[in-house]
Structure 1
Amino acid sequence: MKSFPFPRFASVLLFSLLVPFFAFAQTAEDFRTAAQEALTAFGVPGFSVGIIKDGKVVMAEGFGTRTAGKTEKVDGNTLFAIASNTKAFVASSIVKLHLEGQLDLDAPVRDYLPYFQVYDEYVSSHMMVRDLLCHRAGLGTFSGDVIWYKSALSAEQVIRQVMYLPQAYEWRSGYGYSNLMFITAGEVIRAVTGKSWDEYVRENFLQPLEMNRTQTSVTPLAELDNVATPHLSRHDNQPIPYVNWDNMGAAGGIISSAADMLKWLELQMAHGQWQGKTVFPEGLTATTWRPHNPLAGGTSFTSAGLGWFLRMREGHRLVNHGGGYDGMYSQVMMAPDDNLGVVVLTNSMTGLSGALANYIVNSYLGIATEGWLTDAVKQQERGNQAWDERHQERLNARVMNTSPSLPMASYAGEYFDPMYGKIEVKQQGETLELNFLTAPKLNATLSHWHYDTWLINWKETHAWFDFGTVQFELDNNRKVTGLGFDVPNDDIFFHEIKAEKQ
């Protein structure tokens, strides 16, 4: 779902450049040793690693177990959610259709989806298909993900709610990572071809590449073997169920293996050729790997391409993307001019995938890797500490021995936000229930926190957030007017919900 360089997927490592005569690991056995060390250092259940160099598979292997506390081993064919690494498949689909003359990258989105609407009418009518794929639509990073998350809304219904999101920066003059725009791109594919994004990807990429284990939904996983289990890393690797992402599948719905993903990387680096056949037209990667939207910050060139991120590292061109799913992180990285591709798929929510992928790539490119694992673990610890501090700040702010301003029945009722939809607060005996009518998997009970703020006790465990409160907003006459959420996390923004009491 999410991508570098943001907290969910970020693994920004500091590599020393001062070590002369460094011995660079470049053999499968060296990388196996590094992978085993990472497995122990991060304390994760398992992961798989794929490496392809000069058109030959160096390794497609697993480390650790599919599920914490069980014995089934991960191997190169174990399935993991690749999340936002799906975006490269969707961007490649759009560009393939463009090169074949079936759509125009520079045509307005409304040529294909007349209902498309964002924060401004001029932007809505001039937003090009190309804009959807490079995070320059004017929406903030992860803004609106709360609309689709665990929701029963269809992809089209999600897109129709985008118009209520605020503008975060000038259109085409900034960067904001947007899953919603890739959901929109998926519906453009449907409008042009009459096929869903996943049908198109399967017919045009997965089948020609013989990516036979790769899935485009979690639904078939119950009938398949050799499937990794998602885990909550911050809760001692607690296994959690797969979450259905079908309504945002074009932004992050693919489930694949290291072995299958290496076929995808081989195709990319061969510019559309695979085992003697043409899978996509020449010129596709020249478009998807072209810088479209520069990212601010950092000391080296970094840009969003179409479905990829692009950067230079000590004279080497890198093409990469991260992925974050409930309980699983992944990293795909290519150095195409060096004919090198790496994929790391994990069943944990840690920085391991980015750290190990960077280590392998730097090893091949002759870039010093001393301290790579120590640095990565320290960064993970800093992230964990920041998470804990954010929650502790709220615990410290709690005022004990207060009472609600109003009788409990006064808080009950229906609340509505045009961006999100209906939320219901019901009184059940001596407690209140919080019901998200479009996303019942988010339902919770409420217990008094302080004043007119209540603690959200989720009925299900969630990967991206746990602690949260909701405040009942009152007007000057002590009448409940709305809800204000505080659910601290980096990905699903409940504070964007501004629900007014009906």
Structure 2
Amino acid sequence: IETVAPAGAINSNVVDMSQWIRLQLKKGKYNNKHIFSEKQSNEMWSNQTAIENMNYGLGWFIRYWNGKKLLNHGGGMPGMISDVSLIPEENFGLVILSNAETGMVTAIRNYIMESFFLNEPKDWNKMMLDNWKKRIENFAKENKRREDVRVKDTKPSLPLEKYCGVYEDKMYGKAEVSLKDGNLFLQFLPSPTMKGELKHYHFDTFYIDWEDEFLTRGWVKFEMDFNANIKHFTIEVPNSPDFVFTELLFEKAK
């Protein structure tokens, strides 16, 4: 967890987090002391980036629920998921910490808010369980689809050592492809835990099962130039929980 320390390595509990929620709802004031200013609080709660169906402030997702501004942010690591939600207009806040990797946290949050403000909470447990089952079903269908379209009995265009080298994406940084025990191995250099063996899928496409089980299976596609030299690779990781790879283009270093 040290590799994501700025994002998720603070040890806390619901008692401590409740005090932090009070600080947020008081716009930076706690026990008659100003930890941060009201101006800074307003800036954190203001729209900074537009996202589908919501906006993002500074550390907060922003949307409207039941006609009132709802601020929240979740978090997750293998084995745990959490959520903090605020409705400032109602001076309402809650924190949920769990030791599960399911939609349970969202179900609990929505049930509590509807119990407080609508008096007729939906059966969020059933709804989230149904959604989870559907997600697993769709994931299995996608894996089957990829296996069905796979062209059998193909080989890489070049000897494996020709794929090896350092690649770089202008936005993300560098990645290295090497040979390990006779197979290609991909390592994202800025992120030590993002690594795994590349296994041949078809032609010049390989699939990767990450050593970090938090990441789902991905596909790495290499492209050649007219001189049969590897030019770059792209990567696709469907159902990735936190990382979006689709805009990355890793060009091979000269």
* Fold shared by both chains (TM-score > 0.5): yes
Query: How big is the shift at 1:428?
Result: 4.7
CA shift in 2, pair 1:475/1:266, >3 Å: same
- Cα 1:478–1:379, aligned 2, differ >3 Å: closer, same or farther? same
Check whether the contact 2:193–2:212 (CA below 8 A) recurs between aligned residues. no
Q: 1:243 to 1:469 in 2, by over 3 A?
A: farther
Among 312, 329, 334, the alignment partner of 2:81 is 329
AA of the residue aligned to 2:45? W
1:471 matches 2:221: yes
Deviations 1:58-98 (A, max 9, x none): xxxxxxxxxxxxxxxxxxxxxxxxxxxxxxxxxxxxxxxxx
CA distance in 2, matches of 1:271, 1:339: 11
The question of whether the paired residues in 1 share the 8 Å contact of 2:111 and 2:122 is answered with no
> In the alignment, does 2:150 pair up with 1:398?
yes
1:411/1:266 CA distance change after superposition, 3 Å: closer
CA distance in 2, matches of 1:498, 1:378: 38
Equivalence for 1:245: 4
Question: CA contact under 8 A between 2:208 and 2:219: conserved in structure 1?
Answer: yes
Matches within 5 A, 1:41-120: none
Measured on the aligned residues, the alpha-carbon RMSD in Å equals 2.9
1:431 maps onto 2:183 in alignment = yes
Q: Which has the higher contact order (CA 8 A, sep 6+)?
A: 1
- Structure 1-normalised TM-score? 0.45
Q: Indicate yes or no: 2:136 matched with 1:380.
A: no
Could you tell me how far apart the structure 2 residues matched to 1:295 and 1:433 are?
34
- 1:264 CA drift (Å): 1.0
Q: Using the alignment, how far apart are the partners of 1:333 and 1:305 within structure 2?
A: 14
Q: For 1:99-498, list aligned pairs within 5 A.
A: 242=1, 244-246=3-5, 249=6, 254-291=10-47, 297=53, 303-428=55-180, 430-458=182-210, 460-465=211-216, 467-490=217-240, 491-495=242-246, 496-498=248-250
How far apart are residue 263 of structure 1 and its match?
A: 0.3
Alpha carbons of structure 1 residues 412 and 359: separation in structure 2 relative to 1, 3 Å: same
Aligned partners of 1:449 and 1:455 also within 8 Å: yes
What CA distance in whole angstroms lies between the structure 1 residues aligned with 2:49 and 2:163? 46
Distance 1:348-1:499 versus aligned 2 partners, 3 A rule: farther
1:460-481 superposed Cα distances (whole Å, 9 cap, x missing partner): 223132x223223222343322
Q: By how many angstroms is 1:486 displaced?
A: 2.7
Structure 1 unaligned residues grouped into runs of 5+: 1-241
How big is the shift at 1:284? 4.5
Counterparts of 2:51 and 2:196, CA distance in 1: 38
Change (3 A) 1:497 1:346: farther
Q: Distance in 1 between matches of 2:181 and 2:226?
A: 28
Q: How far apart, in 2, do the equivalents of 1:409 and 1:308 lie? A: 45
CA distance in 2, matches of 1:355, 1:344: 11
CA distance in 2, matches of 1:411, 1:303: 41
Give the structure with the larger helix fraction: 1
Deviations 1:326-376 (A, max 9, x none): 443221122333332211112232221122011112111134213222112
